[in-house]
Copies of this chain bind each other. A is one copy, B any other.
Amino acid sequence: MLTVKEVSKVVDLSEHTIRYYTDKGLIPMIKRDKNNNRVFDDECIGTLITIKCLKDTGMPLDEIKKYIHLYLEGESTFDIRYKMIVKQYEIAKKQLLEAEDRVEFLKNKVALYESQHK
């Protein structure tokens, strides 16, 4: 059972961002303790990790929210959720190629600078 500050370290997102996500309804299973503080269990943390991955593949928060809620609806939403994940998987693979290109590009730039350094 972790606090906002603790999960912010675990998932590497700012405390502000984590509160923003909970308030937007992206982690609907989150509970509060007797002092009204957010408490994160393993399910919440797993959800946050999924949110982060989907966000980083460019999925808008509204669509991520939809995915989480479809998941909570159960088996009947299997097909649509599967399609959503496959789509992001394709995007992730494309992003990987682009990341490789950027590394190449900057590696060449660095090499160029170093060749000019007398």
Binding site for B on A (CB under 8 A): 49, 53, 56-57, 78, 81-82, 85-86, 88-89, 92-93, 95-96, 98-100, 102-103, 105-107, 109-110, 113, 116-117
Contact = CB atoms under 8 A, between A and B. Distances in A.
B102 A56 contact: yes
A106 B88 contact: yes
* Prevailing SS type, chain A contact patch: helix
Given A81-B113, A99-B96, A116-B78, A106 B56 contact: no
Contacts of A98: 56
Given A53-B106, A78-B116, A89-B106, 12 more contacts: A53-B105, A82-B110, A82-B113, A85-B109, A88-B106, A89-B107, A89-B109, A92-B102, A92-B103, A95-B99, A96-B96, A99-B99
A46 B47 CA distance: 41
6 A-B pairs closest in CB distance = A89-B106, A99-B99, A96-B99, A82-B113, A92-B102, A92-B103
Contact of A85 (B57, B95, B96, B110): B110
A52 B93 CA distance: 19
